[in-house]
């Protein structure tokens, strides 16, 4: 079993990544997607960092703090069999966050979410939405792989969920897409089948949640791709319209 990555090294990597993006922004006059969504007339760049850059730095810092607090997590038995923690990756200012179930073998080996066959399908779905992986944020309910990819256990979810909650609070997305049964049940506190939950927005602390089938399910059941495309089209429409909580029924907008 390979050595666990040092969380401090990951934090230093996050800071180096942000610094590199800021330098690129200043040198090219082309704002990076998660630092600024607008460009000044004539392509000029202010000598001072734009407010969006400060906001992105703050949100990246908030995520880094969550990762630091997670540390070399041993809060449940999964630490005994994992290779690497899989915290999450993507835009710290993402308008859209995908939440899956748990890392698989490829994710466990690389320490990154959704990099196996299911992850490749998720990337295709994201690209079909006219987005890039770098523009969204991707994470899981569990940060460690369950042995044999078995279903998450209640004690494992209970140990990991506080960190997921803090990730979502740091990012403050406009919409969350819950991939699969365990993600939907954990976020929505519902035991309804995913087939009954999908197809409409639900509320998680005032944030719209669109449950849909997990990409791994689609690999086994390609016929479900039609329903997933219907679900992500609703997400796309809401994002294009600049909508967030207002896609929810009025009675649910403030409901946790």
CA distance linking residue 204 with residue 102, whole number of Å: 19
pLDDT in tens, 3-52: 555 666 666 555 555 554 444 344 334 344 433 334 334 444 444 455 55
Tell whether 216 and 137 lie within a shared domain: yes
Q: Which of 72, 100, 120 is the last residue of a domain?
A: 72
Q: Which of 28, 48, 72 is the last residue of a domain?
A: 72
Tell whether 215 and 122 lie within a shared domain: yes
The token pair that represents 229 in the structure block: 């495309």
Can you tell me whether residue 140 is helix, strand or coil? Answer: strand
What is the full DSSP assignment across 152-181?
A: PPHHHHHHHHHHHHHHHHHH--SEEEEESH
Which residues form the domain of 198? 75-252
Cα angle for residues 68, 181, 118 (degrees, 5° grid): 70
pLDDT in tens, 74-90: 999 999 999 999 999 99
Element (DSSP H or E) covering residue 211: strand 207-212
Q: Which residue has the tokens 């890039």?
A: 132
pLDDT top residue among 207 and 47? 207
CA distance linking residue 230 with residue 234, whole number of Å: 7
Looking only at the bridges linking them, the beta strands covering 175-179 and 207-212 are parallel
Strand partners, 100: 140
Tell whether 42 and 147 lie within a shared domain: no
Task: Provide the mean pLDDT of the chain.
Answer: 84
CATH number at residue 164: 3.40.470.10
């Amino acid at each position: 079993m390979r050595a666990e990555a040092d969380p401090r090294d990951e934090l230093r990597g996050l800071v180096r990544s942000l610094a590199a993006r800021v330098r690129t922004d200043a040198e090219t006059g082309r704002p990076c997607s998660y630092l600024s969504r607008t460009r000044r007339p004539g392509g000029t760049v202010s000598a001072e960092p734009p407010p969006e850059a400060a906001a992105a730095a703050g949100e990246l810092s908030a995520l880094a703090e969550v990762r630091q607090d997670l540390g070399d997590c041993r809060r449940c038995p999964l630490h005994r069999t994992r290779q690497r923690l899989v915290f999450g990756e993507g835009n710290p200012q993402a308008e859209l966050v995908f939440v899956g179930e748990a890392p698989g073998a490829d994710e466990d080996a690389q320490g990154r979410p959704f990099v196996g066959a299911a992850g490749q399908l998720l990337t295709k779905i994201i690209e079909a939405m006219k987005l890039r992986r770098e523009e969204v944020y991707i994470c899981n309910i569990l940060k460690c792989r369950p042995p044999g990819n078995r279903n998450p256990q209640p004690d494992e979810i209970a140990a990991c969920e506080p960190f997921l909650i803090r990730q979502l609070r740091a990012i403050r997305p406009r919409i969350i897409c819950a991939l699969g049964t365990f993600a939907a049940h954990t976020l929505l506190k519902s035991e309804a089948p995913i087939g009954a939950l999908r197809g409409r927005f639900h509320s998680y602390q005032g944030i719209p949640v669109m449950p849909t089938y997990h990409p791994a399910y689609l690999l086994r059941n390609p016929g479900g791709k039609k329903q997933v495309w219907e679900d992500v089209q609703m997400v796309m429409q809401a994002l294009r319209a600049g909508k967030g909580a207002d896609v929810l029924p009025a009675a649910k907008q403030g409901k946790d």
